[in-house]
């Protein structure tokens, strides 16, 4: 990277807050911004985040980091994205509105569902396919809960519903609704990703009653995930990485 090749904007979207870093071409942090997220506890053992707050906080920390660095957004060569992993949500692709708060990875509301799957003898098959033990920690049973408790009792048109982890939600918003994608590392934490085929596992989707059309396209972790919508930062910036974090 040459001296004229610009900056990299890294987004670290964690469980307790969102942070943006700007790096120069030598890898030095030239600015950073942080915003805390509200933790919602509707019942004991349940934990939720407001997806709109996550998105708004992402916009805020990006803009603050750019302002503090005193650079133009057009000088940013790429955006990298790392997020809290198993937290997931559903949203309406026509309105851009979440259908419910995101269910956070720490949430235990589906523990009984997981215990039932274990009792029914699915542990070995799921481990073979995904490399994961059956647990409410992962996204699969969370998405099932959202579909059963939020979508089915309502008049929501399932054809308009998208599902995903936080990286999907932020990518979708960064690109103005043009990209619904995730990477291998985030997908592998859903308990729906087949490690051998590197695709969504059709048998597990059937087991958890999750329609394939709701899920994002899976891409390599280091690849092109679209560009930011022009009116977001007054520049179309390539989004080149999407990697899971703790």
Predicted confidence at residue 246, as pLDDT, reads 43
Phi, psi of 159 (to 5 degrees): -65, -20
Please tell me the predicted confidence (pLDDT) of residue 5: 62
Residue pair 162/91 in contact (Cβ under 8 Å)? The answer is yes
> Tens digits of per-residue pLDDT, 100-130?
999 999 999 999 999 999 999 999 999 999 9
Q: Minimal CA–CA distance to 135: which of 158, 108, 165?
A: 108
If 0-12 CB within 10 Å is exposed, 13-18 middle and 19+ buried, where does residue 244 land?
buried
pLDDT of residue 242: 58
- pTM for the full model? 0.93
Report the top-level CATH class of 7-245.
Answer: alpha beta
Q: How far apart are the first and last CA of the chain?
A: 29
Contact predicate 49/104, CB 8 Å: yes
- Cα 176 from Cα 228, distance rounded (Å): 7
Residues 6+ positions from 90 with CB-CB distance below 8 Å: 98, 99, 100, 143, 146, 147, 150, 151, 161, 162, 163, 214
Structure tokens at 179: 């990209």
Strand partners, 205: none
pLDDT at 241: 73
The full set of domain ranges for the chain reads: 7-245
Question: In whole angstroms, what is the distance from residue 164 CA to residue 242 CA?
Answer: 13
Phi, psi of 48 (to 5 degrees): -130, 155
- What residues in the chain have per-residue pLDDT under 50? 1-4, 245-246
Cα–Cα distance list, 60 to 93, 146, 165, 200, 235 (Å): 23, 28, 20, 33, 16
């Amino acid at each position: 990277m040459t001296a004229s090749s610009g900056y990299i904007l890294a987004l670290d979207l964690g469980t307790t807050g969102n942070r943006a870093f700007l790096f120069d071409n030598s890898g030095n942090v030239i600015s950073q911004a942080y915003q805390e997220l509200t933790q919602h506890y509707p019942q004991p053992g349940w934990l939720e985040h407001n997806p709109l707050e996550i998105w708004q906080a992402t916009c805020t920390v990006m803009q603050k980091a750019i302002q503090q660095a005193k650079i133009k957004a057009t000088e940013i060569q790429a955006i990298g994205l790392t997020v809290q992993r198993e937290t997931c949500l559903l949203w309406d692709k026509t309105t851009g509105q979440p259908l419910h708060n995101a269910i956070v990875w720490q949430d235990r509301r589906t523990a009984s569902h997981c215990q039932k799957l274990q009792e029914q003898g699915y542990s070995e098959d799921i481990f073979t396919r995904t490399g994961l033990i059956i647990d409410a920690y992962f996204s699969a049973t969370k998405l099932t809960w959202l579909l059963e408790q939020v979508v089915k009792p309502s008049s929501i048109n399932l054809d308009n519903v998208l599902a995903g982890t936080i990286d999907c939600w932020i990518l979708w918003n960064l690109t103005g609704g043009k990209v619904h994608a995730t990477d291998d590392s985030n997908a592998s934490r859903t308990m729906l990703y087949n490690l051998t085929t590197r695709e969504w596992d059709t048998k597990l989707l059937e087991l958890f009653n999750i329609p394939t059309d709701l899920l994002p396209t899976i891409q390599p972790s280091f690849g092109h995930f679209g560009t930011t919508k022009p009116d977001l930062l007054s520049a179309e910036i390539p989004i080149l990485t999407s990697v899971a974090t703790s």
